[in-house]
Amino acid sequence: MIRRLLAALGMAALAPSVWAGEALTGEVQKQPLNISAIIMFVAFVGATLCITYWASKRNKSAADYYAAGGKITGFQNGLAIAGDYMSAASFLGISALVYTSGYDGLIYSIGFLVGWPIILFLIAERLRNLGKYTFADVASYRLGQTQIRSLSACGSLVVVAFYLIAQMVGAGKLIQLLFGLDYHVAVILVGILMCLYVLFGGMLATTWVQIIKAVLLLSGATFMAVMVMKHVNFDFNSLFAEAVKIHPKAEAIMSPGGLVKDPISAFSLGLALMFGTAGLPHILMRFFTVSDAKEARKSVFYATGFIGYFYILTFIIGFGAIILVSTNPDFKDAAGALLGGNNMAAVHLADAVGGSIFLGFISAVAFATILAVVAGLTLAGASAVSHDLYASVIKKGKANDKDEIRVSKITTIALGVLAIGLGILFESQNIAFMVGLAFSIAASCNFPVLLLSMYWKNLTTRGAMIGGWMGLISAVGLMILGPTIWVQILHHEKAIFPYEYPALFSMIIAFVGIWFFSITDKSKSAVKERALFFPQFVRSQTGLGASGAVDH
Amino acid sequence: MNDSIYLKIQNSPRFKELVKKRERFAWILSAIMLGLYAAFILLIAYAPQVLGAKLSPGSSITWGIPIGVGLIISAFILTGIYVQRANGEFDEMNAAILKEAEQ
């Protein structure tokens, strides 16, 4: 018998990885063809392709292509950032986690949110003032261009690759579940569409696709939460009371369960979530699409609000599913399990509160979400290759805009082909750990180099290089030796590294490495790099000479 | 952009004041956010029963719900507080510094 979709986060209750929320995994059962969902999805694709066409007419320079000409407002950018964060898997996964374990879903989402204020307080404005198109602009501002840009580009590409695989596999599974279409059709479709957005529309189209999707997702989720609350007469007390009465775990769904096993794992996970966000290339890139530091700050404010609101909605939706879905035999199979698996909790709830048209709407939005996220990832990967590797490392800063964009477009196609290939290759693999790995690498390589380049005067190229690579390698290495890959994927008896999340250790390794190899660096170039800190500091604080600032 | 402007700003007492004020403010807010989150994680790890306790004997809502939702709202409020001051007071100081330096 085919195993039902072992919902990624449903499995979290059985032990494995908290990361699963970002990646749909396990085997799925193909559902019957869903016509209304397909029609609405086609409408979404049509609208976004129109936007891409419109954006392609306006894209004239490299600044337009990479950073939407710096003309996105703080509010729009806040929505786009929130859109990057509210992936299909986090919508379906977190509501499924709430559905199966209750309170743990809230703990999980809080971990994802608290990084944002820190990004605002410590990074956002300096990043905007120093950078142009990619975060490597900032990291390499006063350091050796070749070395630091190569490091940052590798860090970006590795993060993008793992994130992309997770999203592609998720897209394939989701389309089987929601539309009743073939896995390969989904993966190829996603690959082609994301290339179209990025190739022709650049950052402008990618941003607008993300904004539209964020608005659709937030409205759909709001409608569901309101309908759930209407069912319980807008009384939280009876919402929880009813859920406790129905749920097999009863009272346990109202307090922390098995999500966090020990303080070290919890702490390590928290660090990866918080600082990994501050090292994700596709998120950092969004800070260059606004005109100045003022708008960059506003973006984070709005993004934090939208993301927080969204997590509160998913919590209500999860509880709503306990009350309205788990009690309805229409949504269950003979064995009493949810049709299509626990990840379908929110989708079934859409049917329960809004009928088949609304079900189609939510399915289409869930799939659109993946599309928007992979487009952002692809653009970030393509920029790392064209702006950092090609223009700065290979051409030593002498490339012209036209060639640079051409390289970016070639990379986009290459990434599209690669993503389709990997999506098909990893179809039946357990990819739940990949988003975790992406966050851990971002927190251990991109983030330390970026942070210290802005804050620490004594940082030198040698320190950043050696420490950054140490962080990258230790994050990957410890993840492989840890329980997730060593035991669950490679089927060894016992993990060599006992913790699931390497970030706590790999971040310490990176920071200590950067510190040690910087202070012991007595070279001539190190002296020069330290002297350059003060002009950089003035610019990071005041925005004097910042790109885009002259337009005002 | 010539170096003398950067040097002038760097040595300006107003610039030093702005940096000191803004950094202090940013670090205080970061410490509050990190402190709240760390306290929450420690509660989960060492005293989960606190979060599982009911608000009142007749209620089905546990303390974990307002604490968790409160944490989400406090993240939003803290960013709001920072943006309010940074986009107002600090940006005015910043504009004055740039104007002074360009003279």
Question: What span, in angstroms and rounded, lies between the C-alpha atoms of A533 and B6?
Answer: 11
What pLDDT is attached to residue A552?
38
* Average pLDDT for chain A: 87
> Cα–chain-centroid distance for residue A197?
18
Provide, as residue numbers in chain B, all residues whose Cβ is less than 8 Å from the Cβ of A241. 60
Give the confidence band of A22 by pLDDT, cuts at 50, 70, 90: very low
Pairwise pLDDT comparison (A18 vs A40), residue with the higher score = A40
pLDDT tens across A491-518, in order? 888 889 988 889 999 999 999 999 999 9
Stretch A478-496: mean pLDDT, rounded? 86
Helix H segments across A59-144?
62-67, 74-85, 88-101, 104-113, 115-119, 125-130, 135-139
Minimal-distance CA residue of chain A relative to B83: A297
* Chain-chain contact of A254 with B62 (C-beta, under 8 angstroms): yes
pLDDT tens across A199-211, in order? 999 999 999 999 9
The answer for residues whose C-beta is within 8 angstroms of residue A120's C-beta and 6 or more apart is A297, A300, A301, A304, B79, B82, B83
Query: Helix, strand, or coil here: A142?
Result: coil
DSSP annotation of A58 reads H
What pLDDT is attached to residue A350?
94
Structure tokens at B55: 């608000």
* Chain-chain contact of B41 with A244 (C-beta, under 8 angstroms): no
Q: What is the largest CA-CA distance in chain A?
A: 74
The least confident of A98-112, A171-185, A470-484, B83-97 is A171-185
Provide, as residue numbers in chain A, all residues whose Cβ is less than 8 Å from the Cβ of B5. 544
Stretch A130-135: mean pLDDT, rounded? 92
For residue B78, give the nearest of A122, A56, A5, A410 by alpha carbon.
A122
Of B27, B52, B69, the CB nearest to A254: B52
pTM over 0.95: no
For residue A155, give the nearest of A281, A22, A288 by alpha carbon.
A281
Cβ-contact A194, A420 below 8 angstroms: no
Question: What span, in angstroms and rounded, lies between the C-alpha atoms of B81 and A282?
Answer: 26
Q: Which residues pair with B62 in a beta bridge?
A: B54
Stretch A90-97: mean pLDDT, rounded? 87
Q: Which domain holds residue B28?
A: 3-102
Question: What span, in angstroms and rounded, lies between the C-alpha atoms of A22 and A89?
Answer: 5
Chain B contact for A234 (CB, 8 A cutoff): no
What pLDDT is attached to residue A17?
37
H or E segment at A317? helix A293-324
What pLDDT is attached to residue A24?
57
**Residue A461 confidence (pLDDT) above 80:** yes
Cβ-contact A91, A319 below 8 angstroms: no
What pLDDT is attached to residue A203?
94
pLDDT tens across A521-552, in order? 999 999 999 999 998 999 999 988 887 644 43
Structure tokens at A219: 């409205």
Of A117, A262, A300, the CB nearest to B33: A117
For residue A41, give the nearest of A191, A213, A205, A224 by alpha carbon.
A213
The answer for residues whose C-beta is within 8 angstroms of residue A536's C-beta and 6 or more apart is A130, A141, A142, A454
In A211-258, DSSP assigns E strands to none
pLDDT tens across B35-79, in order? 999 899 888 888 888 999 999 888 899 999 999 999 999 999 999
Cβ-contact A243, A41 below 8 angstroms: no
* Chain-chain contact of B41 with A260 (C-beta, under 8 angstroms): yes
The answer for residues whose C-beta is within 8 angstroms of residue A40's C-beta and 6 or more apart is A360, A361, A363, A364
What pLDDT is attached to residue A8?
30
pLDDT tens across A293-309, in order? 999 999 999 999 999 99
Question: What span, in angstroms and rounded, lies between the C-alpha atoms of A138 and A459?
Answer: 13
Question: What span, in angstroms and rounded, lies between the C-alpha atoms of A483 and A66?
Answer: 39
Provide, as residue numbers in chain B, all residues whose Cβ is less than 8 Å from the Cβ of A267. 41
Pairwise pLDDT comparison (A290 vs A166), residue with the higher score = A290
Question: What span, in angstroms and rounded, lies between the C-alpha atoms of A302 and A306?
Answer: 6
Question: What span, in angstroms and rounded, lies between the C-alpha atoms of A441 and A437?
Answer: 6
* Chain-chain contact of A256 with B98 (C-beta, under 8 angstroms): no
Of A109, A308, A538, the CB nearest to B6: A538
What pLDDT is attached to residue A13?
30
Give the confidence band of B100 by pLDDT, cuts at 50, 70, 90: confident
Query: Helix, strand, or coil here: A27?
Result: coil
DSSP conformation letters of chain B: --HHHHHHHHH-HHHHHHHHHHHHHHHHHHHHHHHHHHHHHHHHHH-HHHHHSBSSTT---BTHHHHHHHHHHHHHHHHHHHHHHIIIIIHHHHHHHHHHHH-
Question: What span, in angstroms and rounded, lies between the C-alpha atoms of A324 and A349?
Answer: 7
Question: What span, in angstroms and rounded, lies between the C-alpha atoms of B41 and B47?
Answer: 10
B62: phi then psi, degrees, rounded to nearest 5: -100, 165
Provide, as residue numbers in chain A, all residues whose Cβ is less than 8 Å from the Cβ of B37. 110, 114, 270, 274
The answer for residues whose C-beta is within 8 angstroms of residue A398's C-beta and 6 or more apart is none
* Chain-chain contact of A256 with B60 (C-beta, under 8 angstroms): no
Question: What span, in angstroms and rounded, lies between the C-alpha atoms of A164 and A436?
Answer: 12
Question: What span, in angstroms and rounded, lies between the C-alpha atoms of A251 and B44?
Answer: 16
What pLDDT is attached to residue A28?
62
Minimal-distance CA residue of chain B relative to A123: B26
For residue A437, give the nearest of A135, A82, A20 by alpha carbon.
A20
Q: Which residues pair with A338 in a beta bridge?
A: A332
The answer for residues whose C-beta is within 8 angstroms of residue B13's C-beta and 6 or more apart is none
Give the confidence band of A195 by pLDDT, cuts at 50, 70, 90: very high
Query: Which 261-290 residues of chain A touch chain B by CB within 8 A?
Result: 262-263, 266-267, 270, 274
H or E segment at A76? helix A74-85
What pLDDT is attached to residue A549?
46
Chain B contact for A549 (CB, 8 A cutoff): no
What pLDDT is attached to residue B6?
87
**Residue A9 confidence (pLDDT) above 80:** no
Total domains, chain B: 1
Q: Which residue has the tokens 């700050």?
A: A297
Chain B contact for A311 (CB, 8 A cutoff): yes
Stretch A188-193: mean pLDDT, rounded? 93
Question: What span, in angstroms and rounded, lies between the C-alpha atoms of A159 and A467?
Answer: 17
Of B29, B61, B80, the CB nearest to A240: B61
Residue of B72, B77, B85, B87 to mutate when probing chain A, most A C-beta within 10 A: B72
Residue type, A96: A
Pairwise pLDDT comparison (A222 vs A105), residue with the higher score = A222
Stretch A135-162: mean pLDDT, rounded? 92
* Chain-chain contact of B44 with A541 (C-beta, under 8 angstroms): no
Q: How far apart are the first and last CA of chain B?
A: 14
Question: What span, in angstroms and rounded, lies between the C-alpha atoms of B93 and A291?
Answer: 19
What pLDDT is attached to residue A92?
86
Minimal-distance CA residue of chain B relative to A125: B86
Q: Which residue has the tokens 């775990």?
A: A249
**Residue A324 confidence (pLDDT) above 70:** yes
Give the confidence band of A447 by pLDDT, cuts at 50, 70, 90: very high
Chain B contact for A544 (CB, 8 A cutoff): yes
pLDDT tens across A27-64, in order? 566 667 778 888 888 899 999 999 999 999 988 888 99
Question: What span, in angstroms and rounded, lies between the C-alpha atoms of B101 and A151?
Answer: 36
**Residue A314 confidence (pLDDT) above 60:** yes
pLDDT tens across A238-288, in order? 999 999 999 988 888 998 876 666 778 777 888 888 899 899 999 999 999
DSSP conformation letters of A475-518: HHHHHHHSIIIIIIIT--SS-SS--S--HHHHHHHHHHHHHHHH
* Chain-chain contact of B6 with A534 (C-beta, under 8 angstroms): yes
What pLDDT is attached to residue A196?
94
Taking phi first (over 0 means left), then psi (-120 to 50 degrees means alpha), and beta for anything else, what does residue A7 get? beta
For residue A242, give the nearest of A180, A186, A322 by alpha carbon.
A322
